[in-house]
Chains A and B, each alone.
Chain A
Amino acid sequence: MSAVASASASAARPRARRSSAKRRRNTIGWNILGLVLSVLIAFPVYWLLLTSIEPTRYVQSASPNFLPKAFSLSSYTEVFDDPVFRQDLVNSLIITASTVLFSLLVGFFAALALARFRFRGKSLAIIIVMGVQMVPLIALLFPLNDVLAKAGLGDTQLGAIIAYVAFTAPFTVWTLRTFIANVPRELDEAALVDGCTRFQTFYKVILPLTLPGLVATGVFGWIQAWNEFLMANILLTDNSKQTVQLYLVSFGNSPTHGADWGGLMAASTLVSLPVIILFLIFQRWMASGLTAGAVKG
């Protein structure tokens, strides 16, 4: 018996060693695959940056350089010297920041209602808020443009902000709802017992505990609003009111910038920068925000 056991044990040990060696070899294989894929996925971004810092004569060359040969900021200064770009940058900042603040404020109230109360018509409220995602934006553009014009908000930044708030609402409300639902109800009840009013429990108990959720949701809202193109393209026609996204696309189309790929890539980099910075700062929070919204429910 014991002989058999020790024999099988000694047979098992090398197998275990072999399998751990195999696993290590596998990990090396997976690591190589992971690195190759990282390089492939990152390549377009690398090319964006490379093109933007190369002098034009290298950009327009039959055999492109894969490593920077010379460094020049002329593409960036070209974009920055354009007063239209600077104006559009300011417009984008105003529209995006207002959208985020407004949608967090409005969305927090709705999220409270959905996370903390049972009431008649709750299912209907969820269907309406989340159903917004179902409506193809393009379908609504023509009547929306007309409705805003009738309300005196045609071709105004306020009109665009209100439209953006509506279209960021499903995400904002649902994510905040999840964060609020994760705050134990007992805390509200304890606060109520201690004599807080309902509104005091909202801003003294729930608000501070959902602060990470507000930041994550706000960052996402910022990205959605900053990156938006389709609505801005229709709602903002006046040159002085447009956003950087519109600037970028019209730069890409203008005959004067025909093959000015360096300038286009510099403008692209500048347009992406505010979002990239936010992503890198809030990466950890964003991941937790997403998981909260998508996985835990």
Chain B
Amino acid sequence: MSAVDIIEIDDPPSRNPAPTRRRLLGGAGREAGALPYLLLIPTGLVLAAVIGYPLVQLVIMSLEKDGSSSKFTGTPFVGFAEYQKVLSDSVFWSSVERTVIFAGANVILSLLFGLGLALLMGRVSKSVKLILTVVLMFVWSVPTTVSTELFRWLFDAQYGVVDYVLGKVGLGSYAQHDWFADPNQGLQVASFIIIWGAIPFLTVTLSAGLAQIPKELLEAAKVDGASAWQAFRNVTYPFLKPLLVIVTTLSVIWDTGVFNQIYILRQTHPEPGYYTLGIYSYVKAFATIYGGDNYSYGAAMAIIMVLLMGVFMVGYIRQLLRIGQEG
């Protein structure tokens, strides 16, 4: 990074190359014929094979009659019948509701914690900041499989430390409490896992964003008599907004698509009370023990999910396009 700065400082005229020099390069600086397309081919091929072609398959499947075991062969085209089935399925709608509440709560709580911690990082002394950073790095590196098994252990009814502590502090009814009997409580445990796992990324990214705000502005606000909230509202927030848009979008995508934390928490057999959209479509399509293997049904549901996610993605993609066009 510093090498870049030095070059720019040492060589100011190069910022605006003379027109003769441009011509000398034959316009190769930007326009280069087929080259950019050639460079994109390898990524394009991988994406086409792994995502493009299967997406087309998904659409086709969703329009075919549910062929359970016959899967892709000889299933007649039935139009939007599967979509109708999905949209008139009460389990689907209760999964949608559960997903919206669950993901919404997780996004809001993890952003609040992440932003709060990021602001705190700017106030504590260097040594405390280092301790916090190391802790966050450790948490960040824990895979979701591990964090889920770990929380299953923390919240275990028989030997779990959470029940033990709650019992000790006088909440005796929580001694040997089974957190997973009531799905709503079980989903709260899943929320703990998700928020705990999301905090490191959010805190580190947001505190990097906070560090870029010019100190003079915040001091000027203080001199002018702004309260801490006013300084945040009028100085910090506008600076942080583009970054907040990106991390919020990513959080929405991740938290809506949550799968591992619920699936593993319920030891790969989630009960209907735990069905989020992801879990329900998985159960429908794969878990034959549930009478599943309904590929067409799962496909129709998946496409509805893609469309729902698409709404959230528009702002995010537009932001990326703006950045990309600058280059």
Show the binding face of A for B, using Cβ within 8 Å.
Answer: 26-27, 30-31, 33-35, 37-38, 41-42, 44-45, 47-48, 51, 59-64, 105-107, 109-110, 112-119, 122-123, 125-144, 146-147, 151, 162-163, 165-167, 169, 173-174, 177, 181-189, 192-193, 198, 209, 223, 226-227, 229-230, 234, 245, 248-249, 252-253, 259, 261, 264-265, 268, 271-272, 275-276, 278-280, 283, 287-288, 290-291, 294-295, 297
Contacts and interface: CB of A to CB of B under 8 A. Distances in A.
20 contacts: A27-B125, A30-B123, A33-B120, A42-B135, A117-B36, A119-B32, A123-B325, A138-B281, A142-B299, A167-B50, A173-B43, A177-B327, A187-B7, A188-B29, A245-B143, A265-B150, A271-B146, A272-B142, A272-B146, A283-B137
B257 A137 contact: yes
- 6 nearest A-B residue pairs (beta carbon): A139-B302, A166-B50, A143-B57, A227-B143, A143-B54, A297-B323
Contact of B196 (A44, A182, A278): A44
A253 to B, nearest CB: 5
Contacts of A42: 135, 138-139
Interface of B: 1, 3-4, 7-8, 11, 14-15, 17, 21, 24-25, 28-32, 35-37, 39-44, 46-47, 49-51, 53-55, 57-58, 61, 71-72, 117, 120-121, 123-125, 128-129, 131-133, 135-147, 149-154, 156, 158-159, 161, 164, 196, 199, 204-205, 208-209, 212, 243, 246-247, 250, 253, 256-257, 259-260, 264, 267-268, 278, 281-282, 285-286, 295, 298-299, 302-303, 305-306, 309-310, 313, 316-317, 320-321, 323-327
B142 A193 contact: no
A112 B324 CA distance: 12
Which of B51, B139, B325: most chain A CB closer than 10 A?
B51
Given A138-B257, A143-B55, A189-B29, A248 B124 contact: no
A44 B132 CA distance: 15
B150 A48 contact: yes
A106 B159 contact: no
B287 to A, nearest CB: 11
Contact of A106 (B30, B43, B144, B320): B43
Contacts of A173: 43
Contact of A276 (B141, B247, B316): B141
B28 A26 contact: no
Given A138-B282, A276-B141, 11 more contacts: A34-B129, A44-B151, A47-B153, A110-B39, A142-B302, A166-B50, A167-B50, A184-B8, A193-B21, A279-B138, A280-B137
A275 to B, nearest CB: 4
Contacts of B253: 133-134
A117 B35 contact: yes
Contacts of A117: 30-32, 35-36
Contact of A136 (B141, B199, B305): B305
A139 B58 contact: yes
Nearest to A144: B54
Contacts of A34: 120-121, 124, 128-129, 131-132
Nearest to B33: A119
Contacts of B153: 47, 51, 261, 264-265
Given A27-B125, A136-B278, A230-B259, A162 B4 contact: no
A192 B21 CA distance: 11
Nearest to A159: B50
B315 to A, nearest CB: 12
B35 A47 contact: no
A257 B162 CA distance: 22
A268 B7 CA distance: 47
Given A37-B117, A174-B320, A290 B208 contact: yes
Contacts of A167: 50
A174 B7 CA distance: 24
A183 B1 CA distance: 9
A295 B8 CA distance: 21
Contacts of B43: 106-107, 109-110, 129, 169, 173
A278 B137 CA distance: 10
Nearest to A297: B323
A157 to B, nearest CB: 15
A188 B256 CA distance: 43
Given A177-B327, A245-B145, A288-B1, A132 B31 contact: no
A123 B267 CA distance: 43
B159 A61 contact: yes
Contacts of A115: 327
Given A44-B150, A142-B299, A280-B137, A126 B158 contact: no
Contacts of A187: 7
Contacts of A126: 317, 320-321, 324
Given A126-B324, A230-B259, A294 B132 contact: no
Which of A60, A62, A151, A279: most chain B CB closer than 10 A?
A279
Nearest to A202: B39
B39 A31 contact: no
Contact of A118 (B31, B47, B147, B264): B31
A272 B150 CA distance: 12
B135 A261 contact: no
A147 B49 contact: yes
A195 to B, nearest CB: 12
Given A118-B31, A169-B47, A192 B132 contact: no
